[in-house]
A and B are shown apart, each in its own frame.
Chain A
Amino acid sequence: MAKNLNVTIKFWKQNGPKDKGHFETHDLKNIPDDTSFLEALDIMNEELIAAGKEPFVFDHDCREGICGMCSLYINGTPHGKTERGATTCQLYMRRFKEGETITVEPWRSAGFPVIKDCMVDRTAFDKIIQAGGYTTVRTGAPQDANAILIPKQDADEAMDCASCIGCGACVAACKNGSAMLFVSSKVSQLALLPQGRPEAAKRAKAMVAKMDELGFGNCTNTRACEAVCPKCETIANIARLNREFIKAKLAD
C-alpha cells in the first residue's frame, strides 16, 4: 500500500564555482512514497517556479540508472541510500521517514567544480578517458568473433569493470578526492582483455598522469568509494591499476 509522506528538502544553492553557496529549504507535502526522489525534486521545482522562485538545478538524464548523469549527495551518501547499488534516479521516497529533513548536496571535490547548485562539472573524467581509455583499432574487415579466445571469467570481470558509468560517486565519497576507482575500472576493462594488452602500459601511465594533473587526490585505501559505487566496482581494480602502473614504469 502506497502512503503519502511529508518531508523537508534542504538543498544546496550555489551560483557558479566561485560563489560561496548556501542551503535553502522547501517543504514537500503529500508525496506518494513510490515517487522517485528525482520526481519529488521535479515537484519541488514546480512549486518553486509557481512561487516565483528560481528552481533547484541538478543533473539527470536517462533516469534508469545507466547514464551516470545524476549526482546528488543525499543525507551524507552519494546517490543516497538506495535499495541496492544504484544511482540517485533509482532512489524512492519510501526510503525516507515521515517528517524527515533530507539534505541534498553536490559532489564536493576540487576536481568537480560546481556549475550551479548541485550540477557539477565532471569533464575531468572525459579528459582522463581521452588520455588513454581506448584501444587503437585499425579499421578493416571484422574478425571472426571466436578468433581471439577469452576465458569467460576474464570477459565477465572486464564487463563488470566496464559497467562503471563514470558518475563520480567514488570521488564524492573519498576523503582524499581520489578518482582511483573510476580510473582503475576504466584501465581494468581493457587490461583484462587481450585486445587491450598491447597498449596496457601506455594506457595506465597516461591515465594516471592525467588524473594527477587534474588535481585528484592520492588513494589511501579507505574503501569509501567501493562502499558507495552504484555499479559495485571493487578496489581489486585499484590493485590492478597499481600493478599495471608500477609494472609499466619498471619496464621503461
Chain B
Amino acid sequence: MWLFNSSIGRKLIMSVTGIALVLFVTFHGCMNVVALISGEAYNTICTLLGSNWYAIAATTGLAALVVIHIIYAFILTVQNRKARGNNKYAVTDKPEKVEWASQNMLVLGIIVVLGLLLHLFNFWYNMMFAEIIGNPMQGGFEPTDGFSYMKQTFGNPIFSCLYIIWLVAIWFHLTHGMWSAMQTLGLSGHVWFNRWKCIGQVWSTIIIALFLLVVLAFWFCPDCVGQCDFKLLPFAVK
C-alpha cells in the first residue's frame, strides 16, 4: 500500500492527521473561551460532552489520530537519520530561510506530548475517565464541573507555567506544521506557499493566544472569569 511504503505516502499520513488535530485544537480553543464568559455555559458544554457515547467515540478517534501522528513522526525520524548516514558535518551553517521549528519538529512534538499527558491528568482523568469508571468525585468536583477544575489547575502557578511552555511549543509546532501539511498534500506552489504560511501563522497565533488568555485569566484573575449570567446570553437555551 503506497500510503505506508512510499515516502510521500507516509508524509501524507502526517499531513492529514496533523490537519485533523489542528481542527480539533481550534474547536477546543473556541470552547475554552466560553469559560471566560460564563462558567455555567462552559459546564453545560462539559455536560453535553461528558461520557456520552458520541464524546467517547470522538475521543477514541482523536486518540487514534494522535497515536498515528506520533508513530509516524518516529518512523520518519528513524528513516531520515538512517538516510543522513553516520557521518556528521564538522561545521554546519543554517541558512536564514530555514525556520528553527522546521528542524526541531520531533523535539517540539515530544514537549507537546508531555504537556498532553499533564493535561489529560488534570482534566480528562477527573472528568470523562472518572465518569466512565464510576468514580465521579475522584477529583473533588463533579465530573461535569470543568470550570472548577480550570480554576483549581490554573490557580497553581507551577501548572500554569507548564501549560504556558506547552502552548509555546504547540505554537512553534503549528507555525511549521500547517503550511508543511498543505505542501505535502501538493496544495502549494509559488503563490500559495506564501498564503499558506501567512494563514498558518495567523491561525496558530490566534488559537494559541486564546488558550494563553484562558490560562492567564484563570491564574491572575480567578474571580473575574465566567461571571456572565448564562440565562442572559443570547444563545442560551431557555
- A76 and B92 within 8 A (CB): yes
Give chain B's interface residue range (CB within 8 Å of chain A): 35 or more
- A227 and B11 within 8 A (CB): no
Cα A105 to Cα B79 with chains together (Å) = 23
Answer whether residue A222 sits at the interface, using C-beta atoms and an 8 A cutoff.
yes
- B186 and A175 within 8 A (CB): no
Assuming the contacts A227-B97, A228-B95, asked whether A218 and B7 have C-beta atoms less than 8 A apart, the reply is: yes
Assuming the contacts A208-B7, A208-B8, asked whether A110 and B185 have C-beta atoms less than 8 A apart, the reply is: no
Interface centre among B82, B97, B98, B99 (most CB of A within 10 A): B98
| Residues of chain B with a CB closer than 8 A to A247's CB | 186
Query: Interface 1/0s, chain A 167-197, versus B by CB < 8 A?
Result: 0000001111110100000000000000000
Cα A217 to Cα B91 with chains together (Å) = 21
> Distance (Å) between the CB of B186 and the closest chain A CB?
3
Within 8 A of B (CB), among A228-243: 228, 234-236, 238-243
Cα A103 to Cα B89 with chains together (Å) = 10
> Distance (Å) between the CB of B12 and the closest chain A CB?
7
Assuming the contacts A108-B84, A110-B82, A228-B95, asked whether A73 and B102 have C-beta atoms less than 8 A apart, the reply is: no
Give chain A's interface residue range (CB within 8 Å of chain B): 35 or more
Q: Is the interface of B mostly helix, strand, loop or mixed?
A: helix
- A219 and B185 within 8 A (CB): no
Assuming the contacts A108-B89, A220-B180, A239-B187, asked whether A175 and B84 have C-beta atoms less than 8 A apart, the reply is: yes
Cα A245 to Cα B76 with chains together (Å) = 19
Q: Which residues of A contact B (CB under 8 A)?
A: 21, 23, 73, 75-77, 81, 103, 105, 108-111, 173-178, 180, 208-209, 211-212, 215-224, 226-228, 234-236, 238-247, 249
17 pairs, A vs B, C-beta closer than 8 Å: A76-B91, A77-B93, A108-B87, A108-B88, A111-B83, A175-B80, A212-B5, A218-B79, A218-B80, A220-B80, A220-B102, A226-B97, A227-B97, A234-B190, A235-B193, A241-B8, A241-B186
The 6 closest A-B pairs by CB, nearest first: A243-B186, A76-B93, A217-B83, A227-B95, A177-B83, A176-B80
